[in-house]
Each structure stands twice: as C-alpha cells, then as structure tokens.
Amino acid sequence: MRQLDRDTKSGAGRVQSGGQRVVAHDGSREVHGYAVGATDGYIEVVWAVASGRQRRRAFPAGDVFIPSHAQQWAGVPISDDGLRLGARAAKAHAAQAQAGRPERRASGHSRWATHSDHAA
C-alpha cells in the first residue's frame, strides 16, 4: 500500500472528490473507508458499519494508505451522496476545531461535557 500524496505546504493529503478509498491503521485494526477531507496532517475517513450507519474519524496522515493489489480494500461501499454528507460533516468539524468550539452532538451536549455537568 502507498500513502496518500501530501501537499508540501499544508501537509494535507490530496483527496479525490467523491472520496478516495483508503485503509487507515488504528493500532492493531484496519479501517477500510473513504478519505473525505484533510486538515493539519490528519485525514478524515468515513466508513460504513454492518448496521448501515456511517462512522467518521480523523487519522494521522501517516496511518492512511491507498489499497494495493497485495492488500485490497474490503470496506462497505458508500454512495456518492453518502460521501458528500460525510465530507460536509468533516468540513463542519474542521471549522469548529479551528474556532476552538466543542463539537455539538445530536443530543445537544458537547463532547467535552462530563457527567457532573448534567447532574446540576
């Protein structure tokens, strides 16, 4: 497998529109998904799980590779529309991170909230 090409000025991987199929290494497991964005040396990867839901996470660029014949991509296909939604979510996440604001979840709670915050 080979790494995504990196832009020397920003350090971001060049990601194809619609999403590049990638394999991301996460400790002892591999995530087979689509690269939908890149910021500050991280690649945003979207993948589908067996329930049909999508997951999204930023991986260090050095841990994200383009599949090869020796190690083929074995992910769950995601439609172009699904990838566009994932890319939009990745852009919103990056904008919030740059603004220093916590990411809001569907529940309305920030991911930085603790149990004691909700007890009051």
Domain boundaries, the chain: 2-100
pLDDT digits (tens, 9 = 90+) for 29-58: 999 999 988 888 999 899 998 888 889 899
Amino acid at 43: I
DSSP 8-class letter at 104: B
0.85 exceeded by pTM: no
DSSP string, 37-62: EEETTEEEEEEE-TTS-EEEEEEEGG
Greater pLDDT, 28 or 14: 28
- Examine the pLDDT at 108 and tell me if it is beyond 90: no
Which pair of tokens denotes residue 66? 């383009």
